[in-house]
Every structure is written in structure tokens, then in C-alpha cells.
Amino acid sequence: MESILTFDSLLFTVVVKVLVIVAFFLVAALVVGYLEHKVMGHMQDRTGPMEAGLGPVKHGVGQLVADGAKFIQKEDIIPRSADRWVFAIAPGVALVPTLMILVVIPFGPGVWAENLDLGLFFALAASGVTVIGVLMAGWASANKFSLMGAIRDAAQLIAYELPLVLAGAAVALQAGTLSLVEIVERQNELVLFDTIPVWYGVPQVIGFGLFFVAAMAELNRPPFDMPIADSEIIAGHMTEYTGLRYAFFMLSEYAGMVVLSALAVVLFLGGWYPWPGADLPDGAWGAVIGTVTTIAKTVILAMVMTWARATFPRLREDQLQRMAWTILIPLALAQIVVIAIVIVVLP
């Protein structure tokens, strides 16, 4: 099936795809950021932002737009002893990989930018590049807190990249393909014991958990936010940043939540199908229902990340490393072995 964003002119197609992806990237980050403000507020028995609104709609819906406007007005400060060039481009390097992953994520039948043969592999490869931006920022700031944050972030990424990739590999094993679109379609055909249709999240519930935890750790989301622990190292690699560049880092965190949640939905929760074994109508209605379903599931997962942030205390650095190397990675390896055996034994 072709992407619905395909037109006769190649140039026009490319321009439309880039515009749609960037627009979605910005809007999704704003929406999830706003939801986090509100949801976490209510979890802590307060209301969150209430005043800023867009037109007649209040309840703080304009809060992040106002924040963005504020960030744009701020003075762009580069410390005197900083490495100017590296400092300046680091936020962009951290942001672009997240944007790249969005290219391959399917939101509905036909609603994707590219259906790569290697979609999953591409997404996992791109997700590992973000840390270079973080290391650049931490080093170029000429600040020991920044440097420590960056080093912690790199150590964390090396540790949690493995369970993320292994959990993804187990899904690819069961689906027999690396294309994210085909993974969604195969997933919908899975029937347990010839009666119960399920998604990969059921037979691979361990993998789903591993993927989700590793995704939170990759994004430095609490409880895995040791690299930006405010009580120890101020804000880690972001300590010296102000204005638009700081906003870029925040944007890549919230967009990263959306992107990795959407990837988890595609891999484990049936993608655009509302329930296991569902049948979507062809044409525009199918695309609309599918897109709404994917986005709804993605938002729910992003809210679970917020829930975790409001619930768990921050893990210590050694606890973080021990959890990855002694629990998550052995579990992921064991899961792959079990899945491989089951795939071979059951035709």
C-alpha cells in the first residue's frame, strides 16, 4: 500500500511529507507536554496551569504556547569558555534523530511517510544517535555539572539501548519482518489457541515491559532522570542553556515520549487496530479510525510515563546501571531465546 502522502510530483511529495512530519512533531510535543502538566497536577492534588488559554478555552491550554513565546524572547547566552560551535549545534543534533524516527512510524492504513523494508531497524538505529547531541552539549558547556550529566546520560544510554533493541528484535522475530507496517498487519492476524486473537503485547508481555522501561530510561524520564538530577547536578547537560536552545532540548524530550510511545504501540499494542483481530473499512474511513486509534493509544502510554514520573522516586546511578545489566538485559536475552524456540516449534 502506498503512503497517502504520495503525489505525482516527487518534489511535491517530499515537501509535503517533511511539512506534515515537522508539524506533527511540534503539535504532538506541545499536547503531551500540556497533558503532563495537567495530569501530574491532578495526581498531586493541585490543578496545574489554569490561566493561559487559546481564545475562549481556558484550563491552561495555551500554557506551553506561552512558554514557547517566552523562550524565543530570551537572550541567547553562550558561556565565554564554551566551545561555541559545538555548544550551538548540540540541541539540533539531539532533536533530529527523534524527528527521523517519525518518518517510519505508521499511524493508520496508508498514514505514514515511508514504509521502509527495515523500518524497525532504522528507528532503533536513529534513537541511539540522540546521545551524541547530549554529549556535545555537556562537553561544550565547560561546566562540570554539564559534563557529569552528559557522561551519566551516555552510560545510561549504552546500558538501556541493549534491552530496547533486544525487545524490538523479539517482535521482529515473531512477525518475521522488520517493516513496521507489516508488523502491525501480522500482529492483527495472531490468534492464540485458534480462538483468542491477541496482540504481541500478550505473548511478549516481558518484552513490552522491557521496551517501555528502556524507552523511559533513554528519554531520561523520571525515575531514570539521574543524568539531569536537579538536586545534584542542576540540569545536567542543559545547565548552561537558555532560550530557544533550551526549548529544543525540552522539545526533544516530549517529542521523544510521543515517538517511543508510538513505537511501543506499533510493536506491542496492535498499531492502528482498535481491538485484536479488528477489521478496518477500506479508504478514508479506515485511515481516520486507524489514526485516531494509534494516537489514542500513544497518548495513553505517554500518560503512563507521566504516571511513573509522579509515582517513583529517582533511582540512584548504581541502581540504574545494576537494573539494566543484571535484570533487563538477561531477561531480554532469555525472552529472545524463548520466542525463537516457540517460533520454530509452533509452525
Partner 1 sequence: MSVPDLFMLGALVLGGAAALLVVTARNVVHAALYLVVALVAVAAAFLWMGAEFLAWAQVLVYVGAVVVLILFGLMLTRAPIGPMAQHNENRKFAVAVSVGLFALLMTLIVTTVGDATLDVTPVRVADLGEVLYVQWAFPFMVLGFLLTVALIGALVLARREEGEGPLPDEGPDDARDERERAPASSDVTSAPGSGDAGQQIGAP
Chain contacts with partner 1 (rule: CB under 8 A): 81-83, 86, 116-118, 121-122, 124-126, 128-129, 131-132, 135-136, 138-140, 142, 147, 150-151, 154-155, 157-158, 161, 165, 178
Query: Which of residues 140 and 181 has its CB atom nearest to partner 1 in the complex?
Result: 140
Smallest gap from residue 99 Cβ to partner 1 (A): 15
Query: Which of residues 120 and 287 has its CB atom nearest to partner 1 in the complex?
Result: 120
CA 182 to chain centre: 20
Smallest gap from residue 44 Cβ to partner 1 (A): 36
Q: Tell which residue, 95, 185, 173, has the closest CA to residue 136.
A: 95
For residue 144, with 0-12 CB atoms within 10 Å meaning exposed, 13-18 middle and 19 or more buried, which class applies?
exposed
Q: Tell which residue, 63, 58, 124, 70, has the closest CA to residue 97.
A: 124
Query: Which of residues 35 and 103 has its CB atom nearest to partner 1 in the complex?
Result: 103
Smallest gap from residue 241 Cβ to partner 1 (A): 16
Those residues with Cβ within 8 angstroms of residue 62's Cβ, 6 or more apart along the chain or in another chain? 52, 53, 54
Query: Which of residues 147 and 229 has its CB atom nearest to partner 1 in the complex?
Result: 147
Query: Which of residues 115 and 277 has its CB atom nearest to partner 1 in the complex?
Result: 115
Give the other-Cβ count within 10 Å of 308's Cβ: 16
Smallest gap from residue 347 Cβ to partner 1 (A): 19
Those residues with Cβ within 8 angstroms of residue 102's Cβ, 6 or more apart along the chain or in another chain? 21, 24, 25, 113, 255, 259
d(CA 346, CA 218): 34
Smallest gap from residue 58 Cβ to partner 1 (A): 44
Smallest gap from residue 65 Cβ to partner 1 (A): 34
144-175 and 130-140 are packed helices; what angle lies between their axes, rounded to 10 degrees? 180
Query: Which of residues 7 and 121 has its CB atom nearest to partner 1 in the complex?
Result: 121
Smallest gap from residue 163 Cβ to partner 1 (A): 14
Query: Which of residues 139 and 200 has its CB atom nearest to partner 1 in the complex?
Result: 139
d(CA 232, CA 145): 8
Smallest gap from residue 208 Cβ to partner 1 (A): 22
Query: Which of residues 39 and 120 has its CB atom nearest to partner 1 in the complex?
Result: 120
Smallest gap from residue 145 Cβ to partner 1 (A): 13
Query: Which of residues 26 and 337 has its CB atom nearest to partner 1 in the complex?
Result: 337
In the chain, the N- to C-terminal Cα span, in Å, equals 27
Q: Which set of grid coordinates corresponds to residue 310?
A: 509522579
